């Protein structure tokens, strides 16, 4: 069933199932009031949600948590310096097309109609994340035609239940990339070569979540099209410890282990406060707890190990830097 709003209260725990074989344990996201309000405002207006915040604070996890809570398919896409706007909409397998052209060229007596059909752009067209978000069914037809992989979906999910798409770390891309998305977001459609335009399904509008680590400024025109959520590190240690407890039961991490890990993390963050270095965040806190809970059985052993291995989880900067 399509959910147009998150029917939760601030502080609710959203359990996230393991997403692959390497992620053996489920995780948890505790949604705060600002995140809840921002997501529901975004859903009501069909605007993209841009999430700002330091690395490791839970920006990407919030998108996944929203997908779980809404019962929607989750389509993540990591952006890098080579990403172009087109890649987020569609892409062409140029290597496969070249190979087909060479094969056709090696054949004799190939008529023009056959040549055009075998080298048509549509035969090498891969749906991008926004194609899946705007029109799942047409993206699925194209993916099945080319025998491409299909994004994972929840059990008993149907396209009418909707999609959450994550465009992760858009600040890594050239500034032309976010600006290039304005037309698709503004009109709810985009052109695709060799076929009809892809249009957003108004009956189940997607939730588009975009994250930035502030590596470079984003264009003003793009920012005006988005709702912007500033996701911050927990303001007090009690909240940090609660996040740890949501991930690990007392049988794996006692209160003393959670508190000591929080103290170590806080101390490292204080050391880096007046530097240009990125401090450890929630991701490092959870990694540190997972490292000790997975190796030792007793509380005393875990506390001792915590002291010894914290430098591997928290201190990630060169030895000659303050961290």
Residue 76 lies in a domain: yes
Per mean pLDDT, which range of 112-116, 175-179, 299-303 is the poorest? 112-116
The pLDDT value recorded for residue 177 is: 95
Instruction: Provide CB contacts within 8 A for 63, sequence distance 6+.
Output: 51, 74, 76, 164, 166, 209, 211
The pLDDT value recorded for residue 121 is: 75
**Number of compact structural domains in the chain:** 2
Asked if residues 211 and 78 have their Cβ atoms less than 8 Å apart, the reply is: no
145 and 211 both lie in a single domain? yes
Residue 2 lies in a domain: no
322 pLDDT higher than 60: no
266 and 285 both lie in a single domain? yes
DSSP 8-state code for residue 11? T
Query: In DSSP terms, which residues pair with 13 in a beta bridge?
Result: 30
Last residue of a domain, one of 212, 230, 248: 230
| pLDDT-above-90 percentage for the chain | 64
Count helices and strands in the chain by DSSP H and E runs: 14, 11
Residue 196 lies in a domain: yes
pLDDT tens figures, 200-252 = 998 999 999 999 999 899 999 999 999 999 999 998 899 999 999 998 988 88
Asked if residues 76 and 166 have their Cβ atoms less than 8 Å apart, the reply is: yes
193 and 261 both lie in a single domain? no
Last residue of a domain, one of 230, 257, 282: 230
Tokens of 155: 């059990």
Residue 106 lies in a domain: no
Confidence of residue 169 (pLDDT cuts 50, 70, 90): very high
The pLDDT value recorded for residue 299 is: 86
Instruction: Provide CB contacts within 8 A for 155, sequence distance 6+.
Output: none
CATH assignment of the domain containing 72: 3.40.50.300
Last residue of a domain, one of 230, 259, 294: 230
Using the structure block, give the residue that is written with the tokens 């047409």.
138
pTM of the predicted protein model: 0.88
Residue 276 lies in a domain: yes
148 pLDDT higher than 50: yes
Q: Which H or E run contains 52?
A: strand 49-52
158 and 54 both lie in a single domain? yes
Using the structure block, give the residue that is written with the tokens 């770390």.
169
157 and 65 both lie in a single domain? yes
- DSSP output for 102-148: HHHHHSSS--HHHHHHHT-GGGGEEE-HHHHHH-HHHHHHHHHHHT-
Residue 322 lies in a domain: no
Query: In DSSP terms, which residues pair with 165 in a beta bridge?
Result: 75, 208
35 and 150 both lie in a single domain? yes
End-to-end Cα spacing for the chain: 48
45 and 139 both lie in a single domain? yes
pLDDT tens figures, 49-99 = 999 999 989 999 999 999 999 999 999 999 999 999 999 999 988 777 677
22 and 163 both lie in a single domain? yes
What span, in angstroms and rounded, lies between the C-alpha atoms of 321 and 271?
A: 11
Helices marked H in 188-298? 220-224, 237-247, 255-271, 282-293
67 and 156 both lie in a single domain? yes
Q: Which H or E run contains 208?
A: strand 207-212
Cα angle: 92, vertex 123, 181; to 5 degrees: 35
Residue 203 lies in a domain: yes
216 and 284 both lie in a single domain? no
276 and 246 both lie in a single domain? yes
Asked if residues 102 and 194 have their Cβ atoms less than 8 Å apart, the reply is: no
Residue 152 lies in a domain: yes
Instruction: Provide CB contacts within 8 A for 304, sequence distance 6+.
Output: none
Among candidates 284, 278, 294, 271, which has minimal Cα distance to 314?
A: 284
Q: What residue numbers bound the domain in which 159 lies?
A: 13-90+122-230
Residue 206 backbone phi and psi in degrees, to 5? -75, 160
Q: How many residues does the chain have?
A: 323
206 and 264 both lie in a single domain? no
* Mean pLDDT for the chain overall: 89
């Amino acid at each position: 069933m399509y959910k147009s709003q998150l029917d939760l209260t601030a502080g609710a725990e959203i359990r996230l199932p393991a997403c692959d074989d390497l992620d053996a344990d489920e995780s948890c996201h505790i949604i705060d009031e600002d995140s809840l309000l921002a997501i529901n405002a975004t859903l009501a207006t069909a605007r993209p949600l841009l999430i700002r915040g330091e690395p490791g604070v839970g920006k990407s996890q919030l998108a996944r948590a929203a997908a779980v809570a809404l019962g929607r398919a989750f389509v993540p896409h990591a952006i890098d310096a080579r990403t172009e706007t087109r890649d987020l909409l569609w892409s062409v397998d140029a290597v496969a097309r070249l190979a087909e052209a060479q094969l056709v060229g090696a054949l004799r007596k190939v008529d023009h109609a056959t040549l055009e059909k075998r080298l048509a752009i549509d035969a090498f067209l891969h749906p991008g994340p926004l194609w899946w978000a705007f029109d799942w069914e047409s993206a699925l037809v194209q993916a099945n035609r080319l025998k491409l992989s299909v994004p994972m979906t929840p059990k008993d999910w149907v396209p009418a239940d909707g999609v959450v798409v994550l465009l992760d770390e858009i600040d890594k891309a050239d500034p032309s990339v976010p600006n290039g998305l304005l037309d698709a977001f503004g009109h709810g459609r985009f052109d695709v070569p060799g076929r009809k335009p892809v249009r957003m399904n108004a009956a189940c509008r997607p939730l588009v979540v975009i994250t930035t680590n502030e590596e470079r400024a984003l264009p003003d025109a793009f920012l005006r099209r988005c709702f912007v959520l500033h996701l911050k590190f927990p303001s007090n240690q009690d909240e940090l410890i609660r996040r740890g407890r949501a991930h690990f039961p007392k049988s794996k991490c006692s209160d003393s282990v959670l508190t000591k890990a929080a103290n170590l993390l806080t101390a490292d963050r204080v050391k880096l406060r007046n530097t240009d270095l990125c401090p450890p965040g929630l991701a490092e806190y959870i990694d540190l707890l997972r490292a000790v809970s997975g190796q030792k059985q007793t509380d005393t052993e875990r506390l001792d190990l915590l002291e010894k291995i914290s430098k591997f989880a928290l201190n990630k900067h060169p030895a000659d830097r303050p961290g």
